[in-house]
Chain A
Amino acid sequence: MNLENDLKRVLRRESPPAGFAGRVLERIEAEQTHRRPVWWRAAAASVTLGLLLGGYATHRVVEHRRGEAAKEQILTAMRIAGEKVRYAQQEVQQIGTPRP
């Protein structure tokens, strides 16, 4: 019996407090006025795009420098290796050649 009374009390129809609808409308309006304007959103998108493009460009520059440095290293290695092999080949070719 007590449970039935409690349920009735808890689930009874109640009117909203005075000014409730007004406060809800006010809040909706306030949220709408806080939304960023279109130009602001466009600017944010531009900055994001700029950052992405900038990052990609930086990556390309770093890769380019890395590639150029590796190329220089390969040329140096090939120069040293080629020099030694050429020297050995010349010495071998001189075998049997009359010396002045």
Chain B
Amino acid sequence: MAAITTDQHGHGGHGDPNVDYLHVSKGIWSWIYTLDHKRIGILYLVSVITFFIVAGLAALLVRIELFTPGRTIVDPDTYNRLFTLHGVVMVFLFIIPAIPASLGNFVLPMMLGAKDVAFPRLNLLSYYIYLLGSCFAIYSLISGAVDTGWTFYTPYSTTTNGAVIAMVLGAFIAGFSSILTGVNFITTIHKLRAPGLTWSRLPLFLWAIYATSILQVLATPVLAITLLLLMLERTFGIGIFDPHKGGDPVLFQHFFWFYSHPAVYIMILPGMGIINELISTFSHRKIMGYRAVFISSLALALFSFLVWAHHMFTSGMSEYANMVFSALTFLVAIPSGVKVFNWTGTLYKASIWAASPMLYALAFLFQFCIGGLTGLFLGMLATDIHLHDTYFVVAHFHYVMVGSTVFAFWGGLHYWWPKITGKMYDEGTAKKVFWIVFVGYNGVFLPQFVLGSRGMPRRYYDYLPQFEFLHKVSTMFSWVLAVGLFWMLFMFIQSLRNGKKAPRNPWNSAGYEWGTPTPPPLENFTSPPTFTRGPYDYHLATDAEIAED
């Protein structure tokens, strides 16, 4: 694309292939003003990890409060603010931007053989809009926080005290960042593919990012409308959701889930995309049923618009609406199943290297099975009625969001870390950390399925003595998980300080992004690439391409 020229980057650099993007310019301003997708990816990465730590600490406090029945460390009101903080920050400031805007930003142009995204300035603007949204969220936390839960259900959210408007405004603003990133990525994938990169060779991670971007562009405006109406309702009492003025509180739920259900796929699809890259690289073969896998990504994106009211089976909407949404919800099981079968099938007769990123991919497969299959209980009307708003739902979505998406994020972070930083991390430590994280994570959430089936409702500050044992187990494993994650953070910091220099292609991958030098130069490739094989065609890749250097 002629639109991308070197002077657009404004670094004064000319893409000197001998200088990597980390050293092409220096100083804080070269980061603040950067138009390089790789540096913007890193800005996002640092931000989302910061918010992950904040929201994770809130979760730890929530778990400690639940360690014993009655008051353990905080009073009920503070507890409500803590779980709201955990939910809002994790959803809007961590998991939605986590994969597409950080890792996606970094590798997308490289996987396309492009110098940058289609609109580098828009890319930087997206980041600053995200940061502005975050500021409002932080302001809300400082000025009294919010006790509504991340779902902001009316009329609770319009009548409670606290800085609801600032928090909602934060999510509203962050949404625009999401829309702009989506527009940018869709354009880039359509227009900036290198010669030879046909749609049928497009890396599956990019198919996932593509489906995600469509969701971001189409669904996020509905969130914006909903949150705007909520702010108007709270400020001026317009009454659209207030039953005393003829409004309908259930309407808010429809609006909210019309975005927030597709948002679940905004979270999970990029994770699934990473898993394709990991399984292919570490099995040294193409993902089985490449076509079925990308079609299932698009199918999930489509279905995600049709199932929002399955969050509302007990809300009082008509039985026949429940029927339709239950039937549509079961459609989701088909493409999800196809993906799992294809990933598992890829391992058959492969050449597998169980390096640390692959361990996260394998854990993903196991946990996604649990997260997906427990979805059957919730899609089915009769069983959902019992399980709705209990810990079963909490465990289910944490298996999809954390056990799947966040494990994929960690796997992707390990996988691309050498490309991003030019440094290796300690593989032995990484494997130990993986096992601690894996055991800790499953120990936190498996007991919550049982709690939910036994009738323990969610968002409870206190509980009956019969639930105490499983809450204790869950809380104790949360400490194991925390130890694992802090060790992971420490491991990455150690790698930055004194990690070994990373070779071009440490994982012997045939993926396009590994064809660039490590770390890549400003314009990614030393000369404009032409692709003559697919990113997973290990049988066609030469030994030199697969080699470390």
Please indicate whether A and B come from the same complex rather than being unrelated chains: no
Q: Show the binding face of A for B, using Cβ within 8 Å.
A: none
